[in-house]
Amino acid sequence: MSQANLEWLRTLYDRYAVGETDPLFERLADDIEWVSSVSGSPALGTFSGRFHGPEGVRCYFQGLAQDWRITKHEMQEMVADGDCIAVRNSVEAVNKHTGKKAEVTTRHRLVLRDGKIQRFEEHCDDLTPLEAACRATGP
């Protein structure tokens, strides 16, 4: 993994942290596979699953934006192993329907090919705060 690849990847995360997703699309491979493994909860279904190609990734972000406002997305750690990169993030989001905040740790695994993101996998350490923020009653 070249230092240049790590730098543009860090820049993408920094830009996303301030709400900019357009730069990401410049770095997606045409055959990108984007996997959000926060499924298992109907409350999170709008942005979970497998998405293919840049248009599929747009659908992921549209689903996410439909229900959530990201208030913090901070990269905590980035580790490269060849063309595979592991990223740990601290995320805070507010559910747009309930107004409740959730704080979670997400883990990303990216595979790069020819300076583009070929595959992206997202996992959440604990879905409980996201599910709780979706409920209209309770904490």
In a domain, 48, yes or no: yes
Per-residue pLDDT, averaged over 27-39, amounts to 91
Estimate to the nearest angstrom the gap between the alpha carbon of 62 and the chain centroid.
12
Q: What is the CATH number of the domain that holds 82?
A: 3.10.450.50
pLDDT score recorded for residue 37: 82
How many domains does the chain contain in total? 1
pLDDT digits (tens, 9 = 90+) for 81-134: 999 999 999 999 999 999 999 999 999 999 999 999 999 999 998 889 999 999
Residue located via tokens 């990216």: 110
Provide the 3-class DSSP secondary structure of residue 74: strand
In a domain, 59, yes or no: yes
Amino acid in position 34: W
Q: Check pLDDT > 90 for residue 39.
A: no
Query: Per 3-state DSSP, what percentage of the chain is helix, strand, and coil (rounded to 5)?
Result: 35, 45, 20
In a domain, 82, yes or no: yes
In a domain, 9, yes or no: yes
Averaged pLDDT score across all residues of the chain? 91
- Structural domain span for residue 126: 3-134
In a domain, 108, yes or no: yes
> How far is it, in rounded angstroms, from Cα 86 to Cα 96?
29
Nearest CA among 134, 129, 81 for reference residue 105: 129
> How far is it, in rounded angstroms, from Cα 109 to Cα 87?
6
Per-residue pLDDT, averaged over 26-51, amounts to 85
In a domain, 84, yes or no: yes
pLDDT score recorded for residue 1: 60
In a domain, 139, yes or no: no
